[in-house]
């Protein structure tokens, strides 16, 4: 009904003129003593014909409205399906739409090319920066001083940031970087622990872990990345105490006795760039680590969630159950 009134409103001027002219004719014929019944009869016939034309026009108007609405919903794909113009004004508008579509298409392609160039350069840069990092690590390992240990710890952070940048590029790319197959979970966990062992020792944080004998269906590289990020956060926000890794009922849990997460922050900690109260206290926090974990877990169809209490610590869990995962 609303659409019909919109159509009537479109031709309100023409309808007003029709009734105005009809009244003029009625008035003139009345002044000249013409049979009013004949004039009214002619008026009714014209009105009936007009209503038929209006109904036919409304049907056509409705079809055009539905077509344009579908084009609007799929605008980038359906601009060529715009209905043929019925007058010069519609033809001019269609030319404007086609020109704007052409300009938009060129702009999108330019942006995509620019983004690809930036990503290609950034990817090369991240890979290249690993070479001097490795060289500096070898130099520092030859020394056993307090200064070299401090520098090694800071260099480890740089390496982690570079690795996070590389994973961020991979996650945002449209290429399929997943290789799903069966893996030994214990091997993946041990690889992550070995990487962060010096940090645990330096921070004097106890790590509790009992080996597990489990085969899981996942992508080793991405699951390793998630575990490393969770261990990194556990060490980062645990000033004293311990970190534990447990695997029960196909759920891997990494818990700590750190500063914890507020109830207000928990629903948003996996959002891109969100740092929360704990992150705001640490000026180096980027709010990307947990976002990348959540994004990677979604790609693997692994559910990740957290339970936490301020002052008592946090427990991040990864559901590794084999649901909706296809083997490569």
Higher-confidence residue of 32 and 78: namely 32
Contacts with 129 (C-beta within 8 Å, 6 or more apart), sequence order:
162
Whole-model pTM? 0.63
Strand partners, 207: 243
Report the chain's mean pLDDT, rounded to a whole number: 81
The answer to whether the CB of 189 falls within 8 A of the CB of 209 is yes
For residue 283, is pLDDT > 60? no
Q: Residue 303: its pLDDT value, please?
A: 93
The answer to whether the CB of 242 falls within 8 A of the CB of 208 is yes
Q: Residue 257: its pLDDT value, please?
A: 93
Higher-confidence residue of 66 and 231: namely 231
Q: Residue 281: its pLDDT value, please?
A: 54
Higher-confidence residue of 2 and 264: namely 264
Res. 282 pLDDT band, cuts 50 70 90: low
Calpha distance 77→74 (Å, rounded):
6
- For 164-187, what is the mean pLDDT? 78
Q: Residue 326: its pLDDT value, please?
A: 52
- Tens of pLDDT, residue by residue over 75-87, are 655 556 666 776 6
Distance of CA 214 to the CA centre of its chain: 33
Contacts with 178 (C-beta within 8 Å, 6 or more apart), sequence order:
219, 222, 299, 300, 328
Calpha distance 189→223 (Å, rounded):
9
For residue 230, is pLDDT > 90? yes
Contacts with 252 (C-beta within 8 Å, 6 or more apart), sequence order:
185, 189, 227, 245, 246, 317, 318, 320
Higher-confidence residue of 260 and 279: namely 260
The structure tokens listed for 76 are 């980038």
- Which residue in this structure is represented by tokens 């922050």? 265
Q: Which residues of 253-283 are buried (b: 16+ CB within 10 A; e: fewer)?
A: bbbbbbbbbeeebbeebbeeebbbebbeeee
The answer to whether the CB of 274 falls within 8 A of the CB of 268 is yes
For residue 272, is pLDDT > 80? yes
Measured in residues, the chain has a length of 328
């Amino acid at each position: 009904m609303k659409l019909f009134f919109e159509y009537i409103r479109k031709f309100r001027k023409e309808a007003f003129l029709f009734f105005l002219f009809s009244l003029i004719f009625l008035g003139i014929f009345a002044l000249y003593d013409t049979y009013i019944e004949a004039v009214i009869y002619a008026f009714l016939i014209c009105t009936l014909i007009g209503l038929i034309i209006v109904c036919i026009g409304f049907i056509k108007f409705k079809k055009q409205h539905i077509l344009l609405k579908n084009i609007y919903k799929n605008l980038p794909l359906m601009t060529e399906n715009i209905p043929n113009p019925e007058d010069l004004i519609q033809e001019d508008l269609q030319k404007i739409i086609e020109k704007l579509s052409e300009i938009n298409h060129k702009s999108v392609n330019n942006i995509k090319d620019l983004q690809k160039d930036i990503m290609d350069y950034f990817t090369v840069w991240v890979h290249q920066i690993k070479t001097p990092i490795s060289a500096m690590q070898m130099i520092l390992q030859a020394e056993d001083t307090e200064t070299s240990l401090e520098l090694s710890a800071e260099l480890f952070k740089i390496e982690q940031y570079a690795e996070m940048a590389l994973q961020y590029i991979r996650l945002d790319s449209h290429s399929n970087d997943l290789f799903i197959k069966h893996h030994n979970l214990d091997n993946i966990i041990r690889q992550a622990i070995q990487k962060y062992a010096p940090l645990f020792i330096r921070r004097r944080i106890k790590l509790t872990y009992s080996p597990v004998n489990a085969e899981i269906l996942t992508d080793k590289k991405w699951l390793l990345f998630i575990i490393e990020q969770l261990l990194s956060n556990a060490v980062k926000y645990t000033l004293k105490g311990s970190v534990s890794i447990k695997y029960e009922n196909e759920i891997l849990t990494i818990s700590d006795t750190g500063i914890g997460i507020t109830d207000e922050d928990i629903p948003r900690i996996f959002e891109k760039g969100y740092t929360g109260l704990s992150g705001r206290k640490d000026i180096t926090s980027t709010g990307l680590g947990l976002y990348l974990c959540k994004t990677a877990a979604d790609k693997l169809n692994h559910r990740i969630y957290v339970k936490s209490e301020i002052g008592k610590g946090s427990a991040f869990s990864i559901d590794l159950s084999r649901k909706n995962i296809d083997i490569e």
